[in-house]
Structure 1
Amino acid sequence: MIEEIQLFEIPVVEDVRGNLGVIESGFLPFEFKRVYYLFDVPSSAFRGGHSHILQKEVLIALSGSFEVTIHDGNSKKSYLLNKPNIGLLIPNGFWRELENFSSGAVCLVLASDVFDEEDYIRDFNVFLNSKK
Structure 2
Amino acid sequence: MPARDIYHNNVKNALIKDKWTITHDPLTLKFGKKDLYVDLGARQLLAAQKAEYKIAVEIKSFSGRSDVDDLEKALGQYILYQDILIELEPERMLYLAVPNRVFDDLFEEPIGKLLLKNHRLKLITFDPKQEVIKQWIIPN
Instruction: Please give the TM-score of this superposition, normalised by the length of structure 1.
Output: 0.32
Structure in which a larger fraction of residues adopt helix = 2
Could you say which structure has the greater relative contact order, defined with CA pairs below 8 angstroms and 6 or more residues apart?
1
